């Protein structure tokens, strides 16, 4: 596995998942807070993956030009950034428009059913 990802599993978990993953989560959160589209999170996550590869190379003597390692890092960071974006966006929609939307699970919302306030709709 070390040959595939270009470094050890502990370095991958520590640097990619915890350090760069936290940055990817905050990136997705910041984009959603400013109502930016989700595709922008993908571009920023790819840039974070480049920085992640460099940190692994510089600090832990990992392979800098490992294509499989970069692909795994980039995929992980894109998923984390998109999750941060979606969860924040759902929270915003439900809290800013509570009369229109209600939460439907962690990653989605739905339109509220109209309140019938005593009026018959026959």
Total structural domains in the chain?
1
List the domain range (segments joined by +) for residue 65: 2-93
Q: Residue 63 falls within a domain, yes or no?
A: yes
Residue 31 lies in a domain: yes
- Residue 45 belongs to a domain: yes
Question: Which pTM value belongs to this model?
Answer: 0.86
Which pLDDT score is estimated for 1?
A: 75
Q: Give a yes or no: residue 106 inside a domain.
A: no
Cα distance between residue 48 and residue 99, in whole Å: 38
Asked if residue 100 belongs to a domain, the reply is no
Tell whether 70 is covered by a domain.
Answer: yes
pLDDT reading at 105 higher than 70: yes
Domain presence at residue 69: yes
Q: Choose among 80, 77, 63, 53: nearest CA to 4.
A: 63
- Decide if pLDDT at 84 tops 60: yes
Would 23 be classed as within a structural domain? yes
Q: Is 50 exceeded by the pLDDT of residue 118? A: no
Instruction: Kindly give the interhelix angle for 39-60 and 67-96, rounded to the nearest 10 degrees.
Output: 140
């Amino acid at each position: 596995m070390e040959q595939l990802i270009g470094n050890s599993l502990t370095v991958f978990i520590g640097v990619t998942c915890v350090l760069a993953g936290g940055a990817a989560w905050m990136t997705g959160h910041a984009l959603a807070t400013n109502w930016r589209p989700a595709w922008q999170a993908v571009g920023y996550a790819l840039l974070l993956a480049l920085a992640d590869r460099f940190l692994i190379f510089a600090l832990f003597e990992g392979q800098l030009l490992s294509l499989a390692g970069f692909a795994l890092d980039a995929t992980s960071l894109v998923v984390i950034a998109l999750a941060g974006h979606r969860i924040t966006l759902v929270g915003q929609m439900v809290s800013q428009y509570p009369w229109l939307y209600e939460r439907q699970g962690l990653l989605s919302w739905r339109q509220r059913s109209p309140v019938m306030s005593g009026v018959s709709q026959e």
